[in-house]
Structure 1
Amino acid sequence: MKSGPQSDTAWLAELCLSRIGFALVFTTYSAALPLLKTDWSMSASEAGLVQSAWHVGYLISLFAVGFITDRIGAKQTFLAGGILASASALLFAFFADGFVSGLLLYGLTGLCSGASYTPGLTLVSERFVAYQRGRAMGWFLATSSLGYGVSLILSGFLMPYTGWRGAFIATACGPLAGTFISFWTLRATPNVVHARGEEHIGGFALLSIWRNKPAMLLIWAYVFHSWELLGLWAWLPAYLAVSITHGGNMTVQAAGIGAMLTALTYITGMAGSIYGGALSDRWGRTKVILWGACLSLVCSFTFGWMMALPLWLLVAVAALYNITAIADSSVYSTAITELVPPQYLGAAYALRSLLGFGAGVISPWVFGLVIDWARGEPLRSETMAWGLAWTSLGIGAVLGPLMTLKLRRMPEA
């Protein structure tokens, strides 16, 4: 590990704490979706489109901050992004009041939120050596899951008392706290800018990554992984809320309970990030990716057909789904640092984010389209509608393990 005024453990813990704050705004919409769908008179596809607007903004942000990180350093990018994330979250919380304003302001919030992710991964990569990097990445991403879970618990608790707007205002305070913590944590961390020639800039860097076959196989595997994971995160609270009402009219109480139950599955999913990263340090990156991807595919193809299960059992399956779906996330983030030179790392994260979160933009929208289509057919039940929607996540993710198998056969793996 690299030396510094703080111990590496304390530094990582503080960085993870700031990430929890930034993550609080990521899942509030998912928690409030059943209520917003009614209050804003949205169809399921429109509700999914608002979630997709977040992902559009987020992927643009991640693509941009990759190059910005290479140019001005991960520390400066992380800190500046925190300020923008705080402002945009408050704008949505106070001024979103319908489908159009929600679409635009949630997209803006996503656009301002990317700097807490890939620059954070770069900071971890710079701090830790390779044989400890997987575990450190795992903790960083696990605390993201904790932030998502805390957001859902807080939203689920507040919505019956303050409505959905009160929940958004409360979680918008998270990025503010995260920004203050990150300024303190990184006060003595050097801002590393790798020396670059003309061939390392912009399109030249992207072209180099595109020609790097092992890196591209890993990136494509991540794309299919993102389709599944981001669709899961967008629609799980609504699915559990619908299962509570047995397909009947949605209530504030059902939406709140659905959000809090989803939070439990997110927090449980922390184990997937931590152990996935740690196991990849011991067993190898591609082996852990394959296991995680295949197990989560089984969940995608079966979970939607389980609506009639007892609620406790459905939540247990949802927790398993979250663990398997996120187990390889930290491994993708670690493996890319070992397949590309450091001066290309920002560009590699940028391309990965563009393609991966591009899939995440489409996935929740397609999920909603499938529900609307299935409900429009007289012979299809509510269970069939949700079963087909969850199956769409598996269909989109099925190529991921094939990309990983091809990578596994290469000496770079």
Structure 2
Amino acid sequence: MTTIHSQPYRPWFVVLLLAFAVLLAKGTWFSASAVIPALTTEWGLDDTSRAWLTMSVQLGFAFGAFGSAMLGLADRWSSHRFFTGSALLAATCTALIALFADGPALALPLRFLTGMALAGVYPVGMKIMATWTQRGRGLAIGVLVGALTIGSASPHLLNVLGGIGDWRRTLLLAAGLAALGGVMVAIAVREGPLRATTPRFSWSQVVEIVRERPVLLANLGYLGHMWELYAAWTWLPLFLLASFEASGVAAYWAGLAAFVAIGIGGIGCIVAGAFADRLGRTTITIASMAISSGCALVIGLTFGGHPWLVTAIALLWGLTVIADSAQFSAAISELSPPSLTGTALTLQTSLGFLLTLITIWLVPPLVNLVGWRWAFAGLAIGPVIGIWAMTTLRRSPAAARLAGGQR
């Protein structure tokens, strides 16, 4: 009898197990962001401190990804041990906030370390996945990014299930699940037969990358995407909470709506991954950014309106805001000369997460200035620039190298 561990099924068994572990570990990313209302009350946070609860993770991840690429850690250390150690470190930092933090002074450095640790989770998970898949890699990437998305949404569900009355419980639950994900990989995941050395980052190659116009356009598309993504994920739950409260709806339902609105992006990632190789990377990214930017412009107009209408637009936004994410990395790998791929991907990731610091910080002052009605409108700027970049790339001869000729 054929078992799940036999050769035809083994790659997808590893991909799915790895995706589940990523889902569990990524809950630490927004664990503190999910309980911002409680922390604001208990710690007396201002807008800047609230923003830094997420921004510190973004900054830590950028530093971690850059440092890992510079030192070649993914090749020096066993990938499954690297993943496990990183997940356990993220879990430890998150638990320490719940157990010992009584304000931003301790919480923010621990959040930064959490971000650095998570740089050893998703990128390393992607590396392990690549050693098991060749055909069907687009779908596998979509599954992994989908898991990342649901994991990012999971703290809002944990908050609904038991943390609304005690924010520490939400963080401890997220920490426990991250530790479980790390242990799962340590026990059951190893690299596959397609293992290859990870291309290294090199400062000397940065100028060459800038001169590669197709790569530059794909990076610009990615930066436009990132301008919107993490600010939406950070502040959409608070928008929903404020909107539901204005309609007289309990916080419980706002938390549940936030989880579904962010988590539904996982479906978008899988669908986009499945169709990208057929319809083309530029087609998927342009369509996703067009819809998500429209949602950013429109959702504020529904503030305080019927919860079903607000939730419907939030769901559409969540579905499309992340759906195209993996396609930008895939485009870079296809457009870059092999010798430049490592530097190009590292540069893309680091610049993208550094850019998110601006929009995450920007939304609260905009709420104070123009209210929730228009606070998200500025996020549409990024996707508009991204659409221009990907449309320009689509018209170039280099687009023939994308997705086997599917532009």
TM-score, structure 2 length as denominator? 0.88
Higher relative contact order (CA 8 A, sep 6+): 1
Deviations 1:285-312 (A, max 9, x none): 1111111011111011111121122112
How many residues are matched?
392
Deviations 1:314-353 (A, max 9, x none): 1111010011111111212322222235554433221111
CA distance in 2, matches of 1:85, 1:411: 43
Q: Give the letter aligned to residue 390 of structure 2.
A: T
Aligned to 1:214: 214
Does the residue aligned with 1:127 lie in a helix, a strand or coil? Answer: coil
Is 2:292 aligned against 1:306?
no
Is the contact made by 1:224 and 1:399 (CA closer than 8 Å) also made in structure 2?
yes
Structure-to-structure mapping, 1:6-405, within 5 angstroms? 7-67=10-70, 68-69=72-73, 71-72=75-76, 75=79, 77-129=82-134, 132-161=136-165, 163-187=166-190, 189=192, 192-194=195-197, 202-246=202-246, 254=251, 256-341=252-337, 344-372=340-368, 374=369, 384-405=370-391
Is the contact made by 2:19 and 2:144 (CA closer than 8 Å) also made in structure 1?
yes
Is the contact made by 1:20 and 1:143 (CA closer than 8 Å) also made in structure 2?
yes
Distance 1:273 1:368, change over 3 A: same
**1:388: Cα distance to partner?**
2.3
Is the contact made by 1:215 and 1:336 (CA closer than 8 Å) also made in structure 2?
yes
Q: Give the letter aligned to residue 215 of structure 1.
A: V
Structure 1: tracts of 5 or more residues without a match: 375-383
Is the contact made by 2:224 and 2:381 (CA closer than 8 Å) also made in structure 1?
no
**1:195: Cα distance to partner?**
8.6
**1:194: Cα distance to partner?**
2.8
CA distance in 2, matches of 1:168, 1:222: 30
**1:109: Cα distance to partner?**
1.3
Deviations 1:229-288 (A, max 9, x none): 10000001111111121189xx9x62x432221111123222210111111110111111
Is the contact made by 2:282 and 2:390 (CA closer than 8 Å) also made in structure 1?
yes
**1:6: Cα distance to partner?**
6.0
Q: Give the letter aligned to residue 112 of structure 1.
A: A
Aligned to 1:378: none
CA distance in 2, matches of 1:66, 1:301: 37
Is the contact made by 1:73 and 1:193 (CA closer than 8 Å) also made in structure 2?
no
Q: Give the letter aligned to residue 56 of structure 1.
A: L
Give aligned-pair identity as a percent.
27
Aligned to 1:377: none
Match of 1:410 among 383, 392, 396: 396
Is the contact made by 2:139 and 2:274 (CA closer than 8 Å) also made in structure 1?
yes
Deviations 1:161-210 (A, max 9, x none): 4x1111111111122111111123333536945397xxx65313444433
**1:371: Cα distance to partner?**
1.7
CA distance in 1, matches of 2:207, 2:105: 37
Does the residue aligned with 1:115 lie in a helix, a strand or coil? Answer: coil
Q: Give the letter aligned to residue 244 of structure 2.
A: I
Does the residue aligned with 2:197 lie in a helix, a strand or coil? Answer: coil
CA distance in 2, matches of 1:71, 1:202: 16
CA distance in 2, matches of 1:387, 1:126: 46
Q: Give the letter aligned to residue 244 of structure 1.
A: F
CA distance in 2, matches of 1:95, 1:401: 45
CA distance in 2, matches of 1:16, 1:195: 20
CA distance in 2, matches of 1:346, 1:90: 33
Is the contact made by 1:65 and 1:350 (CA closer than 8 Å) also made in structure 2?
no
Is the contact made by 1:23 and 1:174 (CA closer than 8 Å) also made in structure 2?
no
Is the contact made by 1:50 and 1:103 (CA closer than 8 Å) also made in structure 2?
yes
CA distance in 2, matches of 1:260, 1:312: 13
**1:32: Cα distance to partner?**
0.6
CA distance in 1, matches of 2:382, 2:198: 39
Aligned to 1:380: none
